Protein backbone atom coordinates (compact mmCIF):
# COMPACT_ATOMS: atom_id res chain seq x y z
CA UNK A 1 0.00 0.00 0.00
CA UNK A 2 2.68 2.45 1.05
CA UNK A 3 5.90 2.51 -0.98
CA UNK A 4 4.12 0.80 -3.88
CA UNK A 5 6.60 -0.85 -6.16
CA UNK A 6 4.15 -2.51 -8.53
CA UNK A 7 4.32 -1.15 -12.05
CA UNK A 8 7.70 0.51 -11.70
CA UNK A 9 9.85 -0.67 -14.56
CA UNK A 10 13.20 0.80 -15.35
CA UNK A 11 13.96 0.76 -19.03
CA UNK A 12 16.98 3.04 -18.87
CA UNK A 13 20.14 2.95 -16.75
CA UNK A 14 19.36 6.50 -15.75
CA UNK A 15 15.96 5.51 -14.45
CA UNK A 16 17.40 2.55 -12.62
CA UNK A 17 20.03 4.61 -10.91
CA UNK A 18 17.86 7.48 -9.73
CA UNK A 19 18.01 8.50 -6.10
CA UNK A 20 14.46 7.59 -5.18
CA UNK A 21 13.04 4.95 -7.51
CA UNK A 22 9.83 4.59 -5.49
CA UNK A 23 7.32 7.38 -6.15
CA UNK A 24 6.11 7.30 -2.53
CA UNK A 25 9.59 8.34 -1.36
CA UNK A 26 9.58 11.19 -3.84
CA UNK A 27 6.19 12.33 -2.63
CA UNK A 28 7.29 12.22 0.96
CA UNK A 29 10.33 14.28 0.11
CA UNK A 30 8.33 16.81 -1.86
CA UNK A 31 5.91 17.26 1.03
CA UNK A 32 8.77 17.60 3.52
CA UNK A 33 10.45 20.20 1.34
CA UNK A 34 7.21 22.11 0.97
CA UNK A 35 6.77 22.01 4.74
CA UNK A 36 10.34 23.19 5.21
CA UNK A 37 9.70 26.10 2.86
CA UNK A 38 6.48 27.00 4.62
CA UNK A 39 7.91 26.51 8.12
CA UNK A 40 8.33 30.23 8.95
CA UNK A 41 4.60 30.64 8.32
CA UNK A 42 3.60 27.51 10.21
CA UNK A 43 5.72 27.62 13.33
CA UNK A 44 6.04 30.29 15.97
CA UNK A 45 9.25 32.28 16.05
CA UNK A 46 10.28 30.55 19.28
CA UNK A 47 10.33 27.16 17.56
CA UNK A 48 11.91 28.51 14.41
CA UNK A 49 14.72 30.33 16.18
CA UNK A 50 15.53 27.94 18.95
CA UNK A 51 14.74 24.52 17.50
CA UNK A 52 14.46 24.35 13.70
CA UNK A 53 17.31 26.69 12.84
CA UNK A 54 20.00 25.09 15.04
CA UNK A 55 18.70 21.66 14.05
CA UNK A 56 19.34 22.31 10.35
CA UNK A 57 22.77 23.89 10.86
CA UNK A 58 23.96 21.09 13.09
CA UNK A 59 22.57 18.54 10.64
CA UNK A 60 24.68 20.04 7.86
CA UNK A 61 27.69 19.90 10.19
CA UNK A 62 26.94 16.33 11.29
CA UNK A 63 26.62 15.27 7.65
CA UNK A 64 30.15 16.53 7.11
CA UNK A 65 31.41 14.46 10.02
CA UNK A 66 29.39 11.49 8.79
CA UNK A 67 31.29 11.72 5.51
CA UNK A 68 34.57 11.02 7.24
CA UNK A 69 33.25 8.74 9.98
CA UNK A 70 30.39 6.92 8.29
CA UNK A 71 31.62 6.80 4.72
CA UNK A 72 35.39 6.73 4.98
CA UNK A 73 35.46 5.09 8.41
CA UNK A 74 38.04 7.49 9.90
CA UNK A 75 37.61 8.70 13.46
CA UNK A 76 37.56 12.45 13.91
CA UNK A 77 37.55 13.93 17.40
CA UNK A 78 38.42 17.41 16.28
CA UNK A 79 35.42 18.28 14.18
CA UNK A 80 34.36 21.23 16.34
CA UNK A 81 37.83 22.71 15.86
CA UNK A 82 37.33 22.48 12.09
CA UNK A 83 33.98 24.26 12.44
CA UNK A 84 35.66 26.83 14.63
CA UNK A 85 38.34 27.51 12.02
CA UNK A 86 35.59 28.18 9.50
CA UNK A 87 33.69 30.38 11.91
CA UNK A 88 36.68 32.51 12.90
CA UNK A 89 37.83 32.80 9.29
CA UNK A 90 34.44 33.99 8.11
CA UNK A 91 33.99 36.46 10.97
CA UNK A 92 37.45 37.97 10.55
CA UNK A 93 37.04 38.09 6.78
CA UNK A 94 33.69 39.88 6.85
CA UNK A 95 34.90 42.29 9.51
CA UNK A 96 37.70 43.20 7.13
CA UNK A 97 35.25 44.04 4.41
CA UNK A 98 35.21 40.81 2.43
CA UNK A 99 31.67 40.03 1.21
CA UNK A 100 29.92 37.19 2.99
CA UNK A 101 29.67 35.05 -0.15
CA UNK A 102 33.45 35.04 -0.54
CA UNK A 103 34.11 34.86 3.20
CA UNK A 104 32.12 31.68 3.48
CA UNK A 105 34.05 29.99 0.69
CA UNK A 106 37.21 31.23 2.35
CA UNK A 107 35.98 29.69 5.61
CA UNK A 108 35.59 26.34 3.87
CA UNK A 109 38.95 26.70 2.15
CA UNK A 110 40.91 27.57 5.29
CA UNK A 111 39.21 24.79 7.23
CA UNK A 112 40.09 22.39 4.42
CA UNK A 113 43.68 23.57 4.33
CA UNK A 114 44.25 23.21 8.07
CA UNK A 115 42.21 20.01 8.22
CA UNK A 116 44.29 18.48 5.42
CA UNK A 117 47.59 19.65 6.87
CA UNK A 118 46.63 17.83 10.01
CA UNK A 119 45.29 14.82 8.14
CA UNK A 120 48.57 14.36 6.25
CA UNK A 121 50.30 13.66 9.56
CA UNK A 122 47.34 12.08 11.35
CA UNK A 123 46.48 9.63 8.59
CA UNK A 124 49.75 7.78 9.01
CA UNK A 125 48.10 6.08 11.94
CA UNK A 126 44.85 4.16 12.16
CA UNK A 127 41.89 3.57 14.44
CA UNK A 128 42.28 4.71 18.02
CA UNK A 129 45.63 6.37 17.27
CA UNK A 130 43.96 8.44 14.58
CA UNK A 131 41.21 9.32 17.02
CA UNK A 132 43.81 10.59 19.46
CA UNK A 133 45.73 12.59 16.90
CA UNK A 134 42.52 14.30 15.75
CA UNK A 135 41.85 15.09 19.38
CA UNK A 136 45.22 16.81 19.31
CA UNK A 137 43.90 19.00 16.48
CA UNK A 138 41.09 20.03 18.80
CA UNK A 139 43.44 20.98 21.61
CA UNK A 140 45.86 22.80 19.33
CA UNK A 141 43.00 24.88 17.95
CA UNK A 142 41.65 25.58 21.45
CA UNK A 143 45.08 26.71 22.50
CA UNK A 144 45.59 28.92 19.46
CA UNK A 145 42.21 30.58 19.86
CA UNK A 146 42.80 31.18 23.56
CA UNK A 147 46.34 32.38 23.24
CA UNK A 148 46.33 34.52 20.13
CA UNK A 149 44.37 37.70 20.79
CA UNK A 150 44.34 38.49 17.07
CA UNK A 151 42.19 35.38 16.58
CA UNK A 152 40.06 35.36 19.72
CA UNK A 153 39.53 39.09 20.06
CA UNK A 154 41.42 39.78 23.28
CA UNK A 155 40.54 39.12 26.88
CA UNK A 156 36.81 39.21 26.27
CA UNK A 157 37.33 36.43 23.71
CA UNK A 158 34.16 37.34 21.90
CA UNK A 159 33.93 38.76 18.42
CA UNK A 160 30.64 40.00 17.10
CA UNK A 161 29.72 38.80 13.66
CA UNK A 162 28.62 41.60 11.34
CA UNK A 163 25.05 41.30 10.07
CA UNK A 164 24.71 38.77 7.29
CA UNK A 165 24.74 40.45 3.87
CA UNK A 166 23.85 38.27 0.94
CA UNK A 167 24.15 39.64 -2.60
CA UNK A 168 24.15 43.15 -1.21
CA UNK A 169 21.02 42.66 0.87
CA UNK A 170 21.11 42.57 4.64
CA UNK A 171 19.43 39.40 5.93
CA UNK A 172 18.15 40.08 9.41
CA UNK A 173 14.64 38.65 9.47
CA UNK A 174 14.18 35.29 11.14
CA UNK A 175 12.72 33.82 7.98
CA UNK A 176 15.60 35.13 5.89
CA UNK A 177 18.21 33.55 8.16
CA UNK A 178 16.23 30.34 8.17
CA UNK A 179 16.21 30.14 4.37
CA UNK A 180 19.98 30.68 4.25
CA UNK A 181 20.38 27.74 6.61
CA UNK A 182 17.83 25.64 4.75
CA UNK A 183 19.61 26.15 1.43
CA UNK A 184 22.94 25.11 2.93
CA UNK A 185 21.47 22.07 4.66
CA UNK A 186 19.66 20.95 1.50
CA UNK A 187 22.81 21.44 -0.57
CA UNK A 188 24.87 19.29 1.79
CA UNK A 189 22.12 16.68 1.89
CA UNK A 190 21.93 16.48 -1.91
CA UNK A 191 25.71 16.19 -2.08
CA UNK A 192 25.75 13.39 0.47
CA UNK A 193 22.89 11.52 -1.19
CA UNK A 194 24.70 11.62 -4.49
CA UNK A 195 28.08 10.81 -3.05
CA UNK A 196 27.17 7.19 -2.48
CA UNK A 197 26.40 6.72 -6.19
CA UNK A 198 29.75 8.01 -7.38
CA UNK A 199 33.08 6.29 -7.85
CA UNK A 200 34.45 8.51 -5.10
CA UNK A 201 31.78 7.36 -2.66
CA UNK A 202 32.41 3.73 -3.49
CA UNK A 203 36.13 4.21 -3.05
CA UNK A 204 35.51 5.74 0.37
CA UNK A 205 33.36 2.78 1.37
CA UNK A 206 36.06 0.40 0.15
CA UNK A 207 38.61 2.24 2.32
CA UNK A 208 36.24 2.08 5.27
CA UNK A 209 35.72 -1.65 4.98
CA UNK A 210 39.44 -2.45 4.78
CA UNK A 211 42.11 -0.12 3.53
CA UNK A 212 44.52 -2.96 2.58
CA UNK A 213 41.83 -4.65 0.53
CA UNK A 214 41.02 -1.32 -1.09
CA UNK A 215 44.67 -0.87 -2.00
CA UNK A 216 44.72 -4.33 -3.54
CA UNK A 217 41.89 -3.44 -5.90
CA UNK A 218 43.65 -0.26 -6.91
CA UNK A 219 42.13 2.30 -4.56
CA UNK A 220 44.81 4.57 -3.14
CA UNK A 221 43.62 4.55 0.43
CA UNK A 222 45.79 7.42 1.68
CA UNK A 223 44.61 9.64 -1.15
CA UNK A 224 40.94 8.86 -0.55
CA UNK A 225 41.24 9.32 3.19
CA UNK A 226 42.77 12.70 2.53
CA UNK A 227 39.99 13.59 0.10
CA UNK A 228 37.44 12.57 2.71
CA UNK A 229 39.15 14.78 5.29
CA UNK A 230 39.20 17.66 2.84
CA UNK A 231 35.52 17.35 1.92
CA UNK A 232 34.36 16.98 5.47
CA UNK A 233 36.49 19.91 6.59
CA UNK A 234 35.03 22.07 3.84
CA UNK A 235 31.48 21.24 4.93
CA UNK A 236 32.41 21.67 8.59
CA UNK A 237 34.08 25.03 8.00
CA UNK A 238 31.13 26.48 6.14
CA UNK A 239 28.65 25.04 8.65
CA UNK A 240 30.63 26.65 11.46
CA UNK A 241 30.53 29.99 9.68
CA UNK A 242 26.79 29.71 9.04
CA UNK A 243 26.23 28.72 12.65
CA UNK A 244 27.81 31.99 13.76
CA UNK A 245 26.19 34.25 11.19
CA UNK A 246 22.67 32.91 11.52
CA UNK A 247 22.45 31.66 15.09
CA UNK A 248 25.06 32.85 17.60
CA UNK A 249 25.90 36.23 16.01
CA UNK A 250 29.12 36.25 18.03
CA UNK A 251 31.99 33.81 18.05
CA UNK A 252 33.63 32.60 21.26
CA UNK A 253 36.08 29.74 21.86
CA UNK A 254 33.78 27.58 23.97
CA UNK A 255 31.31 27.30 21.10
CA UNK A 256 33.85 25.01 19.41
CA UNK A 257 35.46 23.30 22.37
CA UNK A 258 36.18 19.61 22.81
CA UNK A 259 32.77 18.84 24.34
CA UNK A 260 31.17 20.10 21.13
CA UNK A 261 33.33 17.68 19.13
CA UNK A 262 32.07 14.83 21.28
CA UNK A 263 28.53 16.09 20.86
CA UNK A 264 28.73 16.05 17.05
CA UNK A 265 30.28 12.61 17.23
CA UNK A 266 27.35 11.45 19.36
CA UNK A 267 24.90 12.94 16.85
CA UNK A 268 26.43 10.89 14.05
CA UNK A 269 26.68 7.67 16.05
CA UNK A 270 23.21 7.86 17.59
CA UNK A 271 21.79 8.84 14.21
CA UNK A 272 23.48 6.03 12.35
CA UNK A 273 26.88 5.83 10.70
CA UNK A 274 26.79 6.37 6.97
CA UNK A 275 23.20 7.45 6.86
CA UNK A 276 21.92 10.80 5.65
CA UNK A 277 18.54 10.72 7.30
CA UNK A 278 20.25 9.39 10.43
CA UNK A 279 22.02 12.73 10.81
CA UNK A 280 18.70 14.53 10.94
CA UNK A 281 17.46 12.14 13.63
CA UNK A 282 20.74 12.13 15.54
CA UNK A 283 20.96 15.91 15.71
CA UNK A 284 17.37 16.16 16.85
CA UNK A 285 18.07 13.56 19.51
CA UNK A 286 21.32 14.95 20.89
CA UNK A 287 20.76 18.67 20.41
CA UNK A 288 17.07 19.22 20.91
CA UNK A 289 15.81 16.36 23.04
CA UNK A 290 17.49 17.42 26.32
CA UNK A 291 15.78 20.79 26.17
CA UNK A 292 12.44 19.32 25.15
CA UNK A 293 12.55 16.66 27.87
CA UNK A 294 13.47 19.34 30.42
CA UNK A 295 10.56 21.52 29.32
CA UNK A 296 8.14 18.60 29.51
CA UNK A 297 9.28 17.60 32.98
CA UNK A 298 9.11 21.19 34.11
CA UNK A 299 5.63 21.72 32.70
CA UNK A 300 4.54 18.42 34.23
CA UNK A 301 5.85 19.35 37.66
CA UNK A 302 4.11 22.68 37.43
CA UNK A 303 0.82 21.19 36.26
CA UNK A 304 0.81 18.69 39.10
CA UNK A 305 2.00 21.39 41.49
CA UNK A 306 4.86 19.24 42.72
CA UNK A 307 7.18 20.91 45.17
CA UNK A 308 10.48 19.68 43.82
CA UNK A 309 13.67 21.63 44.37
CA UNK A 310 14.97 23.33 41.24
CA UNK A 311 18.18 21.38 41.34
CA UNK A 312 16.51 17.99 41.37
CA UNK A 313 14.06 19.17 38.75
CA UNK A 314 16.96 20.13 36.52
CA UNK A 315 18.65 16.77 36.97
CA UNK A 316 15.65 14.53 36.25
CA UNK A 317 15.78 15.30 32.49
CA UNK A 318 19.50 14.46 32.34
CA UNK A 319 18.72 11.17 34.01
CA UNK A 320 15.84 10.41 31.62
CA UNK A 321 17.96 11.46 28.68
CA UNK A 322 20.63 8.97 29.69
CA UNK A 323 18.02 6.23 29.88
CA UNK A 324 16.76 7.21 26.43
CA UNK A 325 20.23 6.93 24.87
CA UNK A 326 20.84 3.54 26.45
CA UNK A 327 17.34 2.44 25.53
CA UNK A 328 17.65 3.40 21.89
CA UNK A 329 21.09 1.86 21.52
CA UNK A 330 19.88 -1.39 23.13
CA UNK A 331 16.81 -1.41 20.95
CA UNK A 332 18.75 -0.68 17.78
CA UNK A 333 22.54 -0.52 18.01
CA UNK A 334 22.82 0.67 14.43
CA UNK A 335 21.25 3.97 15.30
CA UNK A 336 18.05 5.86 14.70
CA UNK A 337 18.46 5.54 10.93
CA UNK A 338 18.15 1.78 11.26
CA UNK A 339 14.88 2.16 13.14
CA UNK A 340 13.64 4.27 10.26
CA UNK A 341 14.79 1.68 7.72
CA UNK A 342 13.12 -1.13 9.66
CA UNK A 343 9.90 0.81 9.72
CA UNK A 344 10.13 1.54 6.03
CA UNK A 345 10.82 -2.10 5.19
CA UNK A 346 7.88 -3.14 7.30
CA UNK A 347 5.61 -0.68 5.48
CA UNK A 348 6.86 -1.73 2.05
CA UNK A 349 5.40 -5.18 2.61
CA UNK A 350 2.50 -4.17 4.81
CA UNK A 351 -0.09 -5.73 5.01
CA UNK A 352 1.59 -8.77 3.44
CA UNK A 353 4.42 -9.12 5.93
CA UNK A 354 4.83 -12.83 5.19
CA UNK A 355 6.09 -11.94 1.71
CA UNK A 356 9.31 -10.64 3.19
CA UNK A 357 10.59 -14.12 3.89
Partner 1 sequence: MYRKLKLMLGAAAVLLAAVPAHAETLRFALCYDLTKAYTFITPQVAQAVKDYAAVLNLKGGIEGNPIEIIVQDHGNEPQRGIECYEKVKDQALTVDFLSTPVSRAALPRAMKDGKVMVQALAGRGDAVDGEVFKWVFTLGPTYWGQAANIVSHFKKQSGGSLKGKKIALLYIDYPFGQEPIPVMQELQKREGFELQMFPYPLPGSDQSSAWSQMRRFQPDLIVHWAFSAMHVVASKEAKRNGISLDKMVTVNWFNETDLDNIGHDAAKGIRRSTTVTSGIDNPIMKDIIRELYDKGKGNGDRKFLSDIYYSTGLAIYAPVFEAARLALKADKGPLTAEKMRKGMESLRGYDARGLLPPITVTAKDHGGGGRTRIEMWDGSKWIPQGDWFTDYDELVWSTVKQHSAEFAKSTGK
* Chain residues in the site for partner 1 (CB under 8 A): 45-46, 49-51, 54, 95, 146, 152-163, 247-250, 252-255, 287, 290-291, 294, 298, 309-311, 313-315, 317-318
- Name which of 50 and 194 has its Cβ closer to partner 1: 50
- To the nearest whole angstrom, how small is the minimum distance from the Cβ of residue 204 to partner 1? 30
Q: Is residue 336 a contact partner of residue 272, using CB atoms and an 8 Å limit?
A: yes
Pick 204 or 242: Cβ nearer partner 1: 242
Nearer to partner 1, 50 or 342 (CB): 50
Cis peptide upstream of residue 351 (ω within 30 degrees of 0): yes
CB nearer to partner 1: pick between 108 and 317: 317
3-state secondary structure string across 188-256: HHHHHHHHCCCHHHHHHHHHHHCHHHHHHCCCCHHHHHHHHHHHHHHHHHHHHHHHHHHHHCEECHHHH
As a whole number of angstroms, the distance between CA 40 and CA 52 comes to 10
Q: What is the closest distance, in whole angstroms, from the C-beta atom of residue 23 to partner 1 in the complex?
A: 37
Question: Which of these, 110, 67, 89, lies nearest to 243 by C-alpha position?
Answer: 89
Is there a contact between 67 and 226 (Cβ–Cβ < 8 Å)? no
- Identify the sign of the CA torsion 218, 220, 221, 224: negative
Query: In the bound complex, what is the minimum distance in angstroms from residue 58's beta carbon to partner 1?
Result: 8
DSSP classification of residue 51: I
Pick between residue 46 and residue 330 the one whose CB is nearest to partner 1: 46
**Shortest distance, CB of residue 50 to partner 1, whole angstroms?**
4
**Closer by beta carbon to partner 1, 176 or else 290:** 290
d(CA 144, CA 152): 8
Contact 225, 74 (CB under 8 A): yes
| Closer by beta carbon to partner 1, 130 or else 159 | 159
Shortest CB 139 distance to partner 1, Å: 10
Nearer to partner 1, 153 or 335 (CB): 153
Minimum CB–partner distance for residue 247 and partner 1 (Å): 7
DSSP E strands in the chain: the ranges are: 159-160, 164-166, 169-171, 250-251
Nearest 5°: phi and psi at 304? -90, 0
d(CA 221, CA 123): 10
| Neighbouring-strand partners of residue 165 | 170
Q: Nearest distance from residue 42's CB to partner 1, in Å?
A: 17
**Residues found in the chain:** 357
Q: What angle do CA 154, 156, 162 make, to 5 degrees?
A: 85
Min separation Cβ 141 and partner 1, Å: 14
Amino acid sequence: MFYRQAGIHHTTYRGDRQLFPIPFDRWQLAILLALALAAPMLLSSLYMKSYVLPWLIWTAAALGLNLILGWAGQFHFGYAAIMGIGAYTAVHATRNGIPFEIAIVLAGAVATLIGCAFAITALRVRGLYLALSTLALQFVMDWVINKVPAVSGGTQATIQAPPLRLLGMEVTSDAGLYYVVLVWCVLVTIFMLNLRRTGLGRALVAVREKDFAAAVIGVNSFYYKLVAFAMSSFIGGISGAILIFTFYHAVTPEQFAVNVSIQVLAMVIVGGLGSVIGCYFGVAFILLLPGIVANLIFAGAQAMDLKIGIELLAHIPSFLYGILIIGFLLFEPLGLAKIYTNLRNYLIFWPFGYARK
